Amino acid sequence: MSNTRTIMWFRQDLRLQDNPALANAVACGEILPLYILDDVNPGEWKMGAASRWWLHESLSSLNESLGNKLWVLKGDPALLLPEFIAAHAITNIVWNRGYEPWQVNRDIQLKTNLSELCAVDSFNGAMLWEPWTNLKGDGTPYRVFTPYYKNSIKTPPERTIVNVKPQAIDICECTQPANKIDSLDLIPPVQWHLSLAQHWQPGEAGAFVQLEKFIDDGLANYKTGRDFPSLNTVSRLSPHLHFGEISPNQVWLTAMGQSANAPEHEIEHFQRELAWREFSYYLLYHFPSIPNQNLHSQFDRFPWLEDPQSLQRWQAGETGFPLVDAGMRELWQTGYMHNRVRMIVGSFLVKNMLNHWLDGARWFWDCLVDADLASNSAGWQWVAGSGADASPYFRVFNPHTQSLKFDGAGEYIKKYVPELKGLSGKDLHDPSSAPAIVLAGAGITLDKDYPRAMLDLKQTRERALEAYATIRKPKIS
């Protein structure tokens, strides 16, 4: 064994298996596993409350897998690492690359500075295709998903799985106190996380349980089932992927190996959705301002409305539109929202309410356990129509029609809006139009037990289209 001591700097790769940086460090000799909570460099996009709870749990799980030898620090890595390297006689540092603009900037600088102190190396542990690969013939990035994807899959995902045997990992002792992870203060002061904890098992083991569950129950009917929020056919792997408790390679290859259990087109459709994650990272890398700025700049002139009271009703799931309210309450109670419902609540906020998409992105950022700067920014810009390959602005989702189509029996609505469970059929999807006698029979008084619809769908749709027409006209200066 050589005399190396390598910092394995864990970031969004909180796993032991298929972790290229870890495998490299282990092959070199002794490792010192380290996590740094960096709230300095992300600025406005530092981790939200639900993500912090998840991180707390995930770090605890990783620490356990490492025999309680994970080091944790809090602060700016540029200040912490040089001191740490000197104090622990470090010869090497490795990490898996991050792609958020603040990470890219930070890491470029760090690589230069730390190279003067020890050997530095970085790896791809988070992507099937790193964002700088896969450009168009003219060297510019794709803006539309389908050609991006068609071109991507011509080359299979970049790397093979790299596993390490846990008993082969030589870890130096950690002298930090037992409450080291608690000292990061990740748990929210209100007891909100208790509700989140009922729905998830953060950590590498939990990610594999979730993957297996999906393979057994969801994959074979993924393509159609994924549109129905009451069905268990989506993977719910997004927070595990975000924190790197499982790699996209592991998910992609496991799905690919299921042809005996699921039709080929279902597997392919799932892989295509995984590629949407890749595309979001690709967009964030090539257009780093998308978390805050419209990708299509004509939206800078869009006449958004500011109405804090309506925004608060949307956040609380009190709009009077059952599917929208069910989605917003699912988000609050579980830290997750089904993809179709994300699109519907998003369209409602930006098109029916004419509220800027950034308010939606910020609320999601704080509440989602899978909050991810790439997918959240791309998702909101898609919904708003301001992004790459976006939903056309004139496509305004009608929450009643969507509700009847994708939650016809109202199972999803009744789960999250239980005060409506006495209603059925069209009345359940649109209680504000239900006859008084029906509402009385179900024990519902509008605005007392459940809010009256906060807006008129037809009028607000027309208003949205008029607003859109104003930004399509050439700017008069």
Ligand X SMILES: Cc1cc2nc3c(=O)[nH]c(=O)nc-3n(C[C@H](O)[C@H](O)[C@H](O)COP(=O)(O)OP(=O)(O)OC[C@H]3O[C@@H](n4cnc5c(N)ncnc54)[C@H](O)[C@@H]3O)c2cc1C
Q: Which residues are catalytic?
A: 273, 276, 304, 339, 357, 380
Give the Cα separation of 212 and 99 in Å (integer): 28
Q: Which of residues 272-291 bind ligand X (CB under 6 A)?
A: 273-274, 276-277, 280
Q: Return the number of the residue (22 or 47) whose C-beta is nearest ligand X.
A: 47
Read off the tokens for 3.
């005399």
Q: Return the range that interacts with ligand X (CB under 6 A); candidates 11-19, 120-128, 231-239, 257-265.
A: 231-239
We find the least distance from the C-beta atom of residue 66 to ligand X, in angstroms, to be 26
Read off the tokens for 362.
């910020």
The answer to the question of residue 241 lying near ligand X (CB under 6 A) is yes
Among 31, 114, 162, 237, binds ligand X (CB under 6 A): 237
Read off the tokens for 177.
């106190």
We find the least distance from the C-beta atom of residue 405 to ligand X, in angstroms, to be 17
We find the least distance from the C-beta atom of residue 457 to ligand X, in angstroms, to be 20
Among 346, 399, 431, 451, binds ligand X (CB under 6 A): 346
- List Cβ neighbours of 241 (8 Å cut-off, separation of 6 or more): 248, 251, 277, 370
Give the Cα separation of 13 and 30 in Å (integer): 19
Cα separations (Å) of 99 from 73, 140, 256, 281?
A: 21, 18, 26, 7
Q: Return the number of the residue (339 or 432) whose C-beta is nearest ligand X.
A: 339
The answer to the question of residue 343 lying near ligand X (CB under 6 A) is yes
- Cβ distance 263 to 257 under 8 Å? no
Q: What angle do CA 208, 212, 213 make, to 5 degrees?
A: 115
Q: Return the number of the residue (93 or 464) whose C-beta is nearest ligand X.
A: 464
Q: Return the number of the residue (47 or 90) whose C-beta is nearest ligand X.
A: 47
Return the exposure string of 208-242: e unless at least 16 CB atoms fall within 10 Å of the residue's CB, then b: bebbeebbeebbbbbbebbebbbbebbbbbbbbbb
Q: What angle do CA 122, 125, 126 make, to 5 degrees?
A: 125
Q: How many CB atoms lie within 10 A of CB 82?
A: 16
The answer to the question of residue 90 lying near ligand X (CB under 6 A) is no
Q: Return the number of the residue (380 or 468) whose C-beta is nearest ligand X.
A: 380
Taking residues 119 to 148 in sequence order and writing x for each that binds ligand X by CB under 6 A, - otherwise, the string is ------------------------------
Q: Return the number of the residue (56 or 277) whose C-beta is nearest ligand X.
A: 277
- List Cβ neighbours of 188 (8 Å cut-off, separation of 6 or more): 49, 52, 53
Among 63, 65, 124, 238, binds ligand X (CB under 6 A): 238
Reference 392, options 303, 288, 468; nearest CA is 468
We find the least distance from the C-beta atom of residue 282 to ligand X, in angstroms, to be 11
The answer to the question of residue 5 lying near ligand X (CB under 6 A) is no
Q: Return the number of the residue (311 or 368) whose C-beta is nearest ligand X.
A: 368
We find the least distance from the C-beta atom of residue 227 to ligand X, in angstroms, to be 10
Q: Which of residues 356-375 bind ligand X (CB under 6 A)?
A: 364, 368, 370-372, 375
The answer to the question of residue 226 lying near ligand X (CB under 6 A) is yes
We find the least distance from the C-beta atom of residue 254 to ligand X, in angstroms, to be 12
We find the least distance from the C-beta atom of residue 407 to ligand X, in angstroms, to be 16
The answer to the question of residue 383 lying near ligand X (CB under 6 A) is yes
Secondary structure (3-state) at 120: strand
Cα separations (Å) of 60 from 63, 202, 215, 258?
A: 5, 9, 27, 32
Among 36, 234, 434, 444, binds ligand X (CB under 6 A): 234
Burial class (CB in 10 A: 0-12, 13-18, 19+), 127: buried
Secondary structure (3-state) at 283: helix
Binding site for ligand X (CB under 6 A): 226, 234-238, 241-242, 273-274, 276-277, 280, 339, 342-343, 346, 364, 368, 370-372, 375-376, 379-380, 383
